[in-house]
Amino acid sequence: MFFELCTLKTGGFIMDYVNAFIVGGIICVIGQILLDKTQLMPARILVLFVTLGVILTALGIYEPIVNFAGAGATVPLPGFGYALAKGVINEVNTEGFMGVLTGGLKATAAGISAVIVFGYIIALIFNPKAKA
Amino acid sequence: MNKHLGKQTIRFDNPPVILASSSIVGPREGEGPLATYFDTIIEDELYGESTWEKAESKLIEKALEKVIEKANKTIDDVKYIISGDLLNQLTASTFGIRNFKVPFIGVYGACSTMAESLSVAAIIVEGGFADYVIASTSSHFCCAEKQFRSPLELGGQRPLTSTWTVTGSGAIFLAESGEGPKITYITTGKIVDFNIKDAMNMGAVMAPAAADTIINHFIDTERDENYYDLIVTGDLGKVGKELLLDILKQYNYDITSKYMDCGIEIFEADKQDTHSGGSGCGCGAVTLAGYILSEMGKGKWKKVLFVATGAMLSQVSLQQGESIPGIAHAVAIEN
């Protein structure tokens, strides 16, 4: 009853949360399994996930996942690859072949700039501490 | 008389004497089971400095000051300092001792450095080249993470086979004569490489090296495990310990009842979440300088074989996909 009410009043937002949780969770579980069961270092897993995001988007597989799970698919690392690939596709469609080189960074400029700006601010404010 | 025995061992006919030893450790080591044995426990890992590296240099400086004080000597008596650490270009040692104005020999043996510096110091003293020499080493958890793994800010996870680098420094004051335990033999290790590439499993890298050095020590000195009261390795951890005992059993040496690993002793793994155990130059150094030597003084052990183990990798060698060679040096200390 409560669930139906929520769905009626909000257009299914509860399910949005659940879908995001499940898909985002599965992506993180894959990362955790790679950390525990292989000798891959974190940096390699990072690159692997971003690259996979690009490839899956190019093959048209990642877009449906994003439509289904929203932030659950765009926030984890493959989501960055998705944004890169999507940016290139859009730019190529509007600007032509040079979009291959410009589209990716344009689409992810906000994310990259935010990392640099916030990274700098955090480094100014805080000092690293030993693991407790 | 020929002092060199067999392949890797030196016998000291006038054994150098350990006049004093000192140890200084970080807060986590200070919460561990050996806490009461350490001279100084610092309250925070920065030790009042602005960087981890400065803190590590200060650890060495304080360990050296303490050992000179405990030996009732002055800095002018010291003819050489033999020291090494895990930082690039041995900066922890060189910056730590720069105010002492004493001739310095830097050594690098990764986590085997305590046995290495002690070996070099013993050769100098027994050779009659100097009457008083200090051997020391240090490591710092935060520096070592940055140097060999990833910066602390990354906040990465540690697998269960990984060890925890000890924050601490140990120093040993060697003299030509006097009261104290003596260094009777050293067995210098060779590089042993079993093509292991997992930097998170140093125990497996170093165990074969430890076994190789122990076996060669037994062969060269015509001793066996029954001669010693204690055979102690530097930082094999739980994983490496099992491997070492297994390998030695294949060669018909059963050291199980006399065996100890500094990395396992220094932390209470379950409570302190240190996984496979302690590691780093400081691990063997503070356990030897703090725990083992003071218990030898009380008579708990009379004949100890100290085998410090090291993994000779660098960030570059690791990134280029090279395997990790191990090494182990043994020092026989007897009352």
| ipTM of the complex in this document | 0.74
Same domain flag for B167 and B315 = no
Is A36 in Cβ contact with B159 (below 8 Å)? yes
Phi, then psi, of B24 in degrees rounded to 5: -135, 135
Same domain flag for B47 and B143 = yes
Residue B48 contacts A, CB cutoff 8 Å: no
Whether the predicted pLDDT of A5 surpasses 60: no
Amino acid at A56: L
Phi, then psi, of B331 in degrees rounded to 5: -130, 125
Whether the predicted pLDDT of A80 surpasses 70: yes
Task: Please report residues of A whose CB lies closer than 8 A to that of B28.
Answer: 130
Is B159 in Cβ contact with A128 (below 8 Å)? no
Q: Give the pLDDT confidence score for residue B154 in this predicted structure.
A: 78
Residue B303, domain CATH? 3.40.47.40
Q: Give the pLDDT confidence score for residue A6 in this predicted structure.
A: 47
Same domain flag for B194 and B324 = yes
The answer for residues whose C-beta is within 8 angstroms of residue B176's C-beta and 6 or more apart is B14, B16, B17, B125, B128, B131, B132
Same domain flag for B300 and B160 = no
pLDDT grade for A10, boundaries at 50, 70 and 90: low
Same domain flag for B134 and B27 = yes
Whether the predicted pLDDT of A2 surpasses 70: no
- pTM of the full predicted structure? 0.89
Residue B206 contacts A, CB cutoff 8 Å: no
Q: From B140, B158, B175, give the residue that closes a domain.
A: B175
Q: Give the pLDDT confidence score for residue A132 in this predicted structure.
A: 63
Q: From B175, B198, B230, give the residue that closes a domain.
A: B175
Same domain flag for B35 and B160 = yes
Q: From B175, B196, B225, give the residue that closes a domain.
A: B175
Restricting to B residues 158-197, those with a Cβ less than 8 Å away from any Cβ of A are 159, 167, 197
Q: With beta carbons less than 8 A apart as the criterion, state whether B11 and B217 touch.
A: no
The answer for residues whose C-beta is within 8 angstroms of residue B215's C-beta and 6 or more apart is B248, B251, B253
Same domain flag for B197 and B164 = no
Q: Give the total number of structural domains in chain B.
A: 2
Is B142 in Cβ contact with A128 (below 8 Å)? yes
Share of chain B above pLDDT 90, in %: 86
Same domain flag for B71 and B27 = yes
Amino acid at B148: F
| Three state DSSP letters for chain B | CCCEECCCEEECCCCCEEEEEEEEECHHHHCCCCHHHCCEECCCCCCCCCCHHHHHHHHHHHHHHHHHHHCCCCHHHCCEEEEECCCHHHHHHHHHCCCCCCCEEECCECECHHHHHHHHHHHHHHCCCCCEEEEEEEECHHHHHHHHCCCHHHCCCCCCCCCEECCEEEEEEEECCCCCCEEEEEECCCCECCCCCCCCCHHHHHHHHHHHHHHHHHHHHCCCHHHCCEEEECCCHHHHHHHHHHHHHHCCCCCHHHEEEHHHHHCCHHHHCCCCCEECHHHHHHHHHHHHHHHHHHCCCCEEEEEEEEECCCHHHHHCCCCCCEEEEEEEEEC
- Give me the mean pLDDT over the B183-198 stretch: 94
Whole-angstrom Cα distance, residue A92 to residue A76?
Answer: 25
- The CA-based diameter of chain B, rounded to the nearest angstrom, is 57
Same domain flag for B271 and B224 = yes
Q: Which residue has the tokens 């003299």?
A: B175
Residue B315 contacts A, CB cutoff 8 Å: no
Give residue-wise pLDDT tens across range B302-313.
999 999 999 999
Same domain flag for B264 and B232 = yes
Same domain flag for B238 and B120 = no
In B, minimum Cα distance to A44 occurs at B319
* Residue that wins the pLDDT comparison between B221 and B238: B221
Same domain flag for B147 and B58 = yes
Is B156 in Cβ contact with A131 (below 8 Å)? no
Give residue-wise pLDDT tens across range B152-164.
877 777 877 788 9
Domain holding B160, by residue range, is 4-175
Q: Give the pLDDT confidence score for residue A12 in this predicted structure.
A: 72
CB nearest A131 (choices: B44, B152, B200): B152
